[in-house]
Amino acid sequence: MITKRHALKLAVALLTSAAASAYAADTGPIKIGLILPMTGQSASTGRQIDAAVKLWMAQNGNKVAGRTVEVILKDDGAVPDATKRIAQEMIVNDKVAVIAGFGITPTALATAPLATQSKTPLVVMAAATSSITQASPYIVRTSFTLPQVTVAIADWAAKNKIKKAVTLVADYGPGFDAEKFFDSQFRLDGGQVLDKLRTPLRAPDFAPVLQKVIDVKPDALFVFLPSGQGAAFMKQFAERGLDKSGIRLIATGDVTDDDQLAEMGDVAIGVVNSHHYSAAHPSATNKKFVAAFEAANKFRPNFMAVGGYDGMRVIYKALEATKGAGGEALLNAMKGQVFESPRGPVLIDAQTRDIVQDVYIRKVERVPAMNNGLYNVEFDVIKAVKDPGKQK
Ligand code: VNL
């Protein structure tokens, strides 16, 4: 009797301990590797996305499918070799389920092969060159693409008495996209691009290109510069008297960035631009988002913050669907998600893994109802825009 009871007890104990260890493997933290430029020239992008990720977690908790979510934040200084090394460590040592962030295009492109080799979903929250999502089948994007937001401003310009333009872009991936898609749409609409100017990504000096613009004297100057460069550009634009030259400034919303608009001052007023997010977007979802973000951070969210916030949404919902499993299952659960973002309605296109979203035409104005601050005020919208960079 005693032996039998003893054996039974032992068997139960063994089973329990086996189950417990399996359970432990399934209940350890789910790790998200967040790689952002927290220092250097693109640090504002890192600061915005980090704040948005923290806001998402404060609002939605740190538990998904019964497991704790742990975000590991690392600074890559926007240096591609650093991004790649950090991603490798996160995948191999920390065993992260997802890598996310990616402030500028070269950092996303450098890391793409690692995502493919390790079957780790890579969520691009910032970088915006069209081709990024084609660099790995494991890449999903929650930011935007330059072709997606550029076509609208080219079209607006041609339909608003602008016949001759000069383009000015940062000399790398997203700049090439902006230059190309501005030119093709503007020409299609009967406009003419008189000159195509570029400034280096690192430490640009706008004086020589602005002198060129003065010499060529187009109806308008179209500008794309990455987030963080807009205020310096605006300062030189005004210093050289271009704001009073009759040459109209038009841009993508990267230039009239919510992060820097206040710093730009009156020179920005009247600049018409196109983009997917404005802190002044008048939806209830956005008002709630902006209020919570500002209360937590004492600064205004920009389009980078929204890319980070929506990236967390996509990751959380996918983890819920897979009950915490990673790899291809997690990737598949990210595809096809449809939701209301602070920017408006969005879809993660299951075929391209890129985001489909509304693009707005906006004008910089002082808004008395919003503390008399400078905002990109939306006055037109193109619904559900797919990345034209992937259409033939
Ligand atoms: C990129 C595109 C970066 C748009 C940006 O800001 C931006 C990029 C840092 O793809 O590198 O506004």
Query: What is the spatial distance between Cα 340 and Cα 359, in angstroms, rounded to a whole number?
Result: 14
Distance 300 CA to ligand 1 centre (A): 18
Query: What is the spatial distance between Cα 30 and Cα 28, in angstroms, rounded to a whole number?
Result: 7
What local confidence, expressed as pLDDT, does residue 18 receive? 38
Give the mutation target among 227, 258, 306, 354 for probing the ligand 1 site: most ligand atoms within 8 A of CB.
227
Judging by DSSP bridges, how do beta strands 63-64 and 67-75 pair with one another?
Answer: antiparallel
> At a CB cut-off of 8 Å and minimum separation 6, what does 243 contact?
237, 249, 267
What local confidence, expressed as pLDDT, does residue 390 receive? 85
Q: What residues line ligand 1, using a CB cutoff of 6 Å? A: 42, 45, 103-105, 126-129, 173-174, 226-228, 254
Long-range contacts, stretch 57-60, CB < 8 angstroms, 24+ apart: 57/312, 58/296, 59/292, 60/312, 60/316
Tell which atom from ligand 1 comes closest to the C-alpha of 128. Answer: 10
Tell which atom from ligand 1 comes closest to the C-alpha of 225. Answer: 12
**CA-proximal residue: ligand 1, atom 4 (nearest):** 226
83 is written with which tokens? 């991004």
Q: Which residues partner with 63 through β-bridges?
A: 68
Pick from 316, 292, 342: nearest CA to 62: 316
Q: Strand, helix or coil at 87?
A: helix
Q: Which residues partner with 124 through β-bridges?
A: 101, 141
Q: Identify the residue whose tokens are 């020589």.
A: 208
What local confidence, expressed as pLDDT, does residue 277 receive? 99
**CA-proximal residue: ligand 1, atom 11 (nearest):** 104
pTM of the model: 0.93
Q: Which residues partner with 193 through β-bridges?
A: 165
Distance 227 CA to ligand 1 centre (A): 6
Distance 42 CA to ligand 1 centre (A): 9
Q: How many CB atoms lie within 10 A of CB 323?
A: 12
- Amino acid at residue number 309: Y
Pick from 257, 261, 164, 292: nearest CA to 216: 164
Pick from 232, 37, 258: nearest CA to 127: 37
Q: Identify the residue whose tokens are 């008048």.
A: 282
pLDDT in tens, the chain (392 residues): 445 555 545 444 443 443 333 333 567 999 999 999 999 999 999 999 999 999 999 999 999 999 999 999 999 999 999 999 999 999 999 999 999 999 999 999 999 999 999 999 999 999 999 999 999 999 999 999 999 999 999 999 999 999 999 999 999 999 999 999 999 999 999 999 999 999 999 999 999 999 999 999 999 999 999 999 999 999 999 999 999 999 999 999 999 999 999 999 999 999 999 999 999 999 999 999 999 999 999 999 999 999 999 999 999 999 999 999 999 999 999 999 999 999 999 999 999 999 999 999 999 999 999 999 999 999 999 999 999 998 64
284 is written with which tokens? 């209830």
Give the mutation target among 224, 254, 256, 355 for probing the ligand 1 site: most ligand atoms within 8 A of CB.
254
What local confidence, expressed as pLDDT, does residue 19 receive? 37
Tell which atom from ligand 1 comes closest to the C-alpha of 104. Answer: 11
Query: What is the spatial distance between Cα 174 and Cα 274, in angstroms, rounded to a whole number?
Result: 15
What local confidence, expressed as pLDDT, does residue 27 receive? 73
Distance 24 CA to ligand 1 centre (A): 40
Distance 144 CA to ligand 1 centre (A): 10
Distance 164 CA to ligand 1 centre (A): 26
